[in-house]
Amino acid sequence: MTRPLLTKDELEPTRLRWRRPRLRLGRWSSPLGITGAAVAVLWIIVAIIAPVIEPHDPLAQNLAILQAPGHGTLMGTDELGRDVFSRVLSGAGVTIPLALLLVVMSVLIGAVLGAIAGFFGRWVDELIMRITDLVMAFPTVILAMVIAAALGASLLNAVLAALIVSWPSYARLTRGLVLALRQSNYVVSGQLLGFSPLKSLWRDIAPNIVGPILVLASLDIGTAILLLSGLSFLGLGAKPPTAEWGSMVSDAIQNFDSWWLGLFPGLAILTIVVAFNFVGDALRDALDPKSNTLRGGGLTL
């Protein structure tokens, strides 16, 4: 790192208190961000109401196998005669909630451990940071693959593996932010007033560091979806009958001529990940224009 982690005016920021975010549309009106948000919201709605709007049961097998799109189906049927359109819709309900859960959990675990490391320092800091070093010594997908294989193939184990590889970037980011704030005047004066460490962290430090953490989290939703579907593609996630996008693409390799088997689930992954990445990018411009969150890790799939 040549650039100092934080510049001087970031080191002594104006103190922020918890408050309702003011809506300043001027900074938020990025066309890409709005398009992304619209697509993401649409997908989330699909994920919720998928069981209602599916034209067929996504698991129901049929004699009309490997039918091309048209002939009464929007996206054709797969090698067991299941309706691909219904399976793509149903896949939204599998991947999106798990990816959101994964990101929320990584933020919570990473932020808490990072705050502890940054605030208390010494051996606690040393221990937590060495663990993050160890996790980050592997490329993300590779470590997640190894862990998921050891835990056994299931969607929940895939989420657990993804969680183990993704919390360290939040821990590092949070630790850096806390370290930068720990010595600032208002935090020290709070402590002189007798604030407990917990109160100091929550009242004085937390409101000032949520911005960058949120930005990293929003950029990470797309990565989480790619990671989970990648693990399923490797056969380490969703088990066969489940309609999951990554495993649907994996199944498509066996029936290479039937292009619709792989095309549509892949497009589903692509559109939702692009949408979340556009949102994250716009959020970064709005909330955290100076820092380079990319460097913290995250997008290294």
Partner 1 sequence: MGETARTVRASHPFLRYAGRRVITSILLVIGVTLVTFILTNLVPGDPVAASLGQRAAEDPAIVAHFRAEYGLDKPLVVQYFTYLGNLLHGNLGISTTTHDAVAADLAQALPATLEIAIGAIVLSVVIGVVLGTVAAYRRGKVSDHVLRVVSLAGLSVPTFWLALALYYFLYFKLHIAPGSGRLSSDFNTPHTITGLYTIDALLAGQLDTFFDALSHLFLPVLVLTLYTVGLLTRFVRTAVLEILDQDYVRAARAKGLPTRTVVWSYVLRGASIPVLTVVGLAFGSLLSGTVLVESIFSWPGIGSYAYQAASHLDLPGVMGVGLLIGVMYLLVNLIVDLLYGILDPRVRLA
The site for partner 1 (CB under 8 A) is made up of 1-3, 32, 133-134, 137-143, 145-153, 222, 226, 229-230, 233-236, 246, 249-250, 252-253, 256-257, 259, 262-263, 265-266, 269-270, 273-274, 277-278, 281, 292, 294-295, 299-301
| Closer residue to partner 1, CB minimum distance, 27 or 199 | 27
Smallest distance from the beta carbon of 82 to partner 1, in angstroms?
A: 19
| Closer residue to partner 1, CB minimum distance, 107 or 147 | 147
Eight-class DSSP state of 194: T
Smallest distance from the beta carbon of 122 to partner 1, in angstroms?
A: 20
| CA dist., res. 240 & res. 215, Å (int) | 35
Smallest distance from the beta carbon of 49 to partner 1, in angstroms?
A: 24
Smallest distance from the beta carbon of 186 to partner 1, in angstroms?
A: 29
| Closer residue to partner 1, CB minimum distance, 187 or 231 | 231
Identify which of 180, 187, 170, 213 has the alpha carbon closest to the alpha carbon of residue 16: 187
Buried b (16+ CB within 10 A) or exposed e, 160-191: bbbbbbbbbbbbbbbbbbbbbbbebebbeebe
| CA dist., res. 233 & res. 168, Å (int) | 24
| Closer residue to partner 1, CB minimum distance, 150 or 192 | 150
| DSSP structure string for 123-155 | HHHHHHHHHHHHHHTS-HHHHHHHHHHHH-S-H
| Closer residue to partner 1, CB minimum distance, 132 or 200 | 132
Helix (H) or strand (E) holding 81: none
Smallest distance from the beta carbon of 68 to partner 1, in angstroms?
A: 14
Q: Evaluate whether 118 touches 125 at the Cβ level (below 8 Å).
A: yes
